[in-house]
Structures are given as C-alpha cells and as structure tokens.
Structure 1
C-alpha cells in the first residue's frame, strides 16, 4: 500500500508505530531479511535462482509458495549456529524498531537437527545468546517456542520435546506446532504435548488454519490442553463452541495477513468476510501478530494498522487487544501487572497526543 497523504491516516500510523507491542505468533524463518536470504543462498553456491529468491518475497493478490522458503532455509541455506544467531538478532532488531517490547517466537528444531545438521544444543545456545545480547541495547525481551513440525512424524515430535527438556533454560518457555494442518490433525501429537506439560513447558498450537475444521481447535484445547490457540479462525463456524472458548478466556493469536483467506476470498470481500472481523463479537479474545513478517510484507505496526484499516476496529478495541496479549503472554504475574500499568498509560498518552476526538473511531 503506497504511503498515505491523509493527515488522519498519518497520525494513525505514527500512533501505531509508537504504542508498546508484543508478538506472540512469529516464526523465526519467516523473519529473514531479503538481503540475508540472498547472501545465504550465494554462500551455498546459489542452489536457488535469483528469480526464485525474489519470488519468495513477492506477495501478490493471491500469495502462494510462502512455506517453500521456510523449508529451503533448513534444506540448503542455514548451516551453522552463527546463522541462527544472525537470524535471531536481525529479527529482534526489526521488531524492536516497531516498539515490540516482548516477543515469543517459533523455531522448528526438527528441521534444524535433521535437515540442517546442527545439533540441538548448539542451535538453541546460538538463538538464546542472541536473545540475551539483544535485550538491553534493543529494549526487547525475547522468548523461544520450540515448534513441532506437524509434517514430520509424531515420534519426531516427542524426540523434539526430549531435546527441549534435556536442555532447559529460562528463554525456552514452551512448545507449539506449525506447518500445514491439512491431514495432520492435532491428535497425532498428543504424546509430545503430554510430555511437554509434564516437564512444565507452556503449550500452544496452530489449529483452525487453512480452512481446517473448528473441531481441530477443540482437540487442541481438550486433548492437547494448550494454553492458547494460534490462528483458530474456524472457531466462528460453531457459535456454541465459540461461546465455550470465550467463557474460558482462550487467547487466539491471529494474523491479519493470513494467506489462506487472502488466497481463497475475492479481493473485495476478504476483509469483510475474514473470521478475524467476527471473533471479538463472539466474545473471543484475539491479539494481532505478524506470523512471517518479511514473507507477508508486513511489520508489527502494519499488522495493527490492518486491524483498523481492513477489519474496522477502533482504538478502544486496540487497547483491549493489547491487554489480551499481556494476559496471554507466558510471563510471570508481577511482570504482567507492571507492563499492564505502564503500557496502558503509554497507550493512553499517545492516543491523547495523536488524535482529536473526531479524527479516528474509538
């Protein structure tokens, strides 16, 4: 979208850039800068053509092929712990530039170990060192979620949880599950999740994405016993179950740039018909995130801008979404209370300084 010249839109963009944010749904390999990707490709002897590299970062009306870049990184480009350190530092730099103060981000250890050939301990150490090195100079707290590769076997998932529990550290706080949900329902990975919970790890799961049925969300909550849901859009297809989720206070980490709806709904209808628009009206708690920011051509500021521009939410809604994120984040209650007080005051001060009472919907 070209830069706006409308004063109200410019004020909104400045406000959204400045408000304190957190990211709870972002994949490390989906944050790779284009020049970094190209450099890794050159170092590997250019297994991908320049056109293929450019294609990974081209997002038209009907985005396709987004997942290929994630697999290419494991299969051909990421080869040392230093590569993982670089990707992590660059992600945290980019997020902090948008006033992201806290980020829980996903990493797929199965791909790193089995495909990239980097031992788990060395890979985790590199990512954690980047988190520690970034915190003070950038003002961002990073936490790592080890993601089950749902396209691999259930045995690979339980093995991954064993790696995490054998190398526990404060920065690795839980497990998730990602990649294509099609034909890979949550119940396949029940043992891995049970083992993770027993080890004291937090849990989340991608469910109800790719148009997969709302029953996958129910399975993730009731069988896997996850703490929150990533995506979860098809929950709107069963209002009774949606009310159940609302009553439980389940947090849904939603993604405005979700490829499935951009790809399957007409351009003039996708924002009107996207489930994100309906979820708060059903009492569901949502929080906007970038998912794969460089691949989706979105920033944290841009994701929040889409909640206003595309889905019609107002500033009161955004304040509520911020609180939802704080409530659903895997932080201790003392930190939660402190940030809620500080961030709310900051949000309100920025709002008062940025808008007249009539310049933006409340």
Structure 2
C-alpha cells in the first residue's frame, strides 16, 4: 500500500546533516549577489538552477557491488556549475552578521514549513576572507541568533556543527577546532569533516578530533561517499571517535563492516538527492540496500537549497520510490531524535513531543 504523501509530510523530523551554505534560497542568493556586484558566468538564478557536480574518474567505480553510473544523465544542464563553485559564490556574497543570522533563520523557516522539521543541526564552515575578519565569537553568535529567532517563531530547536574542510592540513584543522573549543558556545554542539573524501583521509585529522572529544563535542564525518570502500568509516569510528557517519554508501563493499554497523546501530545520515545528478539512481539503490541490511539510516537534506530538495522530499523518495513502509519511517524519525546532539533533558522533551505527534499519525494510518 502506498503511504499517503500527507502523512509523510507531517511526520515530525530531525535533520542531522545539513550544510548552512547549501540551504541558502535561490532568491536570497540572487539578492545578495546583485547587492555585492558579484561577477558570475550567468544570472544568479541560472547558476543556481544549473547546479550539477560532474563525477570523478569513472575508473574508480568499475567494480562496485552496486553499479555506479558511468555516463551523464538526461537531466544534466548543458553548462554545469558544481556544488563547490556555487557554495563559493554564496559565501562571497555574505557581508556581515545580519546576513549570517538571516540565512540561518531562513534555513530553519524552510525546514519547518516544508518538512515538519522539529530539530535541525547545520554545519558552518571555517570563516575565510572578510567574514574571518569579524572573528569567530562574533560569527558564532550571529549564527546562534538565527536559531533563537527560529525557536521563538517556529518552536524548533537547533545546533551548529563546526565543519573541517578535509582539503586542509591536519595542523589547520587542529587550529580551527582549538578556536571552537577555546570559545565554547551553547549552540555549537560538535564537529564534522566535509569536502571530497578523496582529498583528505580521516586519519589526517586525528588530533583535531581528539581535542573535540576532550571538550565534549559530538563528532561526525563524511565517509564512504567518494572512496569506494569501507575502511575510512572504520577509521572515523575507531580513530576519530565519531558518534555518527554522514553518507556511508560504500560500506556495502565490506560485509564485515556492514555487520558491525548493524550490530552497533551506528547512526548514518543519508540523502537520496545529490548535486551529482547522474549518481542519484545509484544513491537510491545504495540506501535501499542499507535499509535491507538493517543499518540505522536517517534521512537528511544535505544542501537542500542547491540540489534542490527538502527533508520531506527525501522521506517521500524513501516511501514512494523505495517502498519504505510507515513503521520504518516512524522508527527513522525517532532514531534522528536519539542521534541528535541536544543535552539529555532537551532530547527527552523532543522525544516526548515526537511520540505525541506520531500517535496522531499512527491512528490515521491505522484507520486507512
């Protein structure tokens, strides 16, 4: 039986894998880009619409268990702008703390209104350029103000994740995490590891993750997303001490790792939609296999403004395209609560809220 789309839309949700720059609305980018006089290869609206990251060398993926598409897809634009290009332009258009508070608030507003998201954790990048001149304490407070406004207006909760760019050195990453640790903030809950997995192995960042762990911060990392193997995921768990894994599709290459992840029920944030449009069918097939293997996968939005997608759309793909039944989606929603980085008392309150809202949906599903 096909699950009613309205049930999926109203299902209370937690989003644990969402990059702040990737949430920026196309309309907001267009406004800010024109304000700043950015030189772009086309209109701001056009470059946003044509976000499409081209795959790396296909030779890397010739022997994967789930075949990775080797060619282009029918929906690719004639001229593509990668996710990294687009993120760079958006960052360049940001001028001051008001801009930062605005994009955080809009991210939470969209998550609330489009997806029934009750808790959102957004990754923030190490500041560079003119934003860096404002200083980290000023920047993190600007981000936090956006969350406070969302808490007031939407009844949501939220946290920030300090993202390490894995193309940087281990020393640079350690310095960034030391800045975060030396300026603790109630809304900064953890660290993550972003950028292409192929440009920075996780062991490079062991010292940064050790410092974060000593400071009591949550730890996650993109892993087994671009490298066709499971070894990096084991490194992230055992050396970096990660509480969660972002993506993780290529763990399917190793049965022993799959068994461990299933036994330990390691939270894994997954996204069916990606800026690599040709890889979207592979992503969905991989997530279906992860579900079949009993892994603790939790849908997320990643870069919803740029793909574009929403968390509700990601749940809709699971329900509609992959046939995931309501009880499993319900379990996933609660797993998101359990894996979030709220303090214990706030997490308990959030879970109670979910159980109240889910009880209403349970009755509707049972009634048919």
| TM-score of Structure 1 vs Structure 2, range by shorter chain | 0.7 to 0.9
Within 5 Å, which residues of 2 pair with 1:293-332?
293-332=304-343
After TM superposition, what 4+ stretches of structure 1 lie above 6 angstroms from structure 2? none
Q: Deviations over 1:241-269 (max 9, x none)?
A: 11111222210011111345x4247xxx5
Alignment correspondent of 2:109: 93
2:262 aligns to what?
246
> Aligned pair 1:287/2:287, yes or no?
no
Secondary structure in 2 matching 1:182: helix
* Separation of aligned partners in 2, 1:226 and 1:306: 27
Q: Deviations over 1:150-172 (max 9, x none)?
A: 12222221111111112111100
What is the root-mean-square deviation of aligned Cα atoms in Å? 2.1
Aligned residues: 341
1:103 aligns with 2:95: no
Any idea what SS the aligned residue of 1:25 has?
A: strand
**Equivalent residue number for residue 361 of structure 2:** 350
Q: 2:200 aligns with which of 179, 184, 193?
A: 184
Partner of 2:128: 113
Contact preservation (8 Å) 1:246, 1:284: yes
- 1:231 is aligned to 247
Q: 2:39 pairs with 41, 44, 47, which one? A: 47
Q: CA deviation at 1:308?
A: 1.1
Question: How far off is 1:301 after superposition?
Answer: 1.1
State the partner residue of 1:204.
Answer: 220
Q: Which residue of 2 aligns with 1:360?
A: none
Q: Deviations over 1:86-112 (max 9, x none)?
A: 111111111111221111110102xx2
Q: Is the 8 A contact 1:84 1:127 kept in 2?
A: yes
Paired residue for 1:73, among 87, 90, 93? 90
Structure 1-normalised TM-score?
0.88
Cα separation, partners in 2 of 1:32 and 1:19, compared to 1, 3 Å: same
Alignment partner of 1:26 is 2:18:
yes
SS in 1 for 2:4: helix
Pairwise CA distance, 1:148:
0.3
> Structure 1 residue 147: deviation in Å?
0.3
Partner of 2:198, secondary structure, is coil
- 1:192: how far off? 0.7
Paired with 1:92 and 1:170, the residues of 2 have a C-alpha distance of: 18
Q: Which moved more, 1:125-134 or 1:285-294?
A: 125-134
Structure 2 residue runs without a partner (length 5+): 52-73
* 1:222 to partner: Cα distance: 0.9
Query: Is the Cα contact below 8 Å between 1:181 and 1:212 reproduced in 2?
Result: no
Change (3 A) 1:126 1:336: closer
SS of aligned partner of 2:302: coil
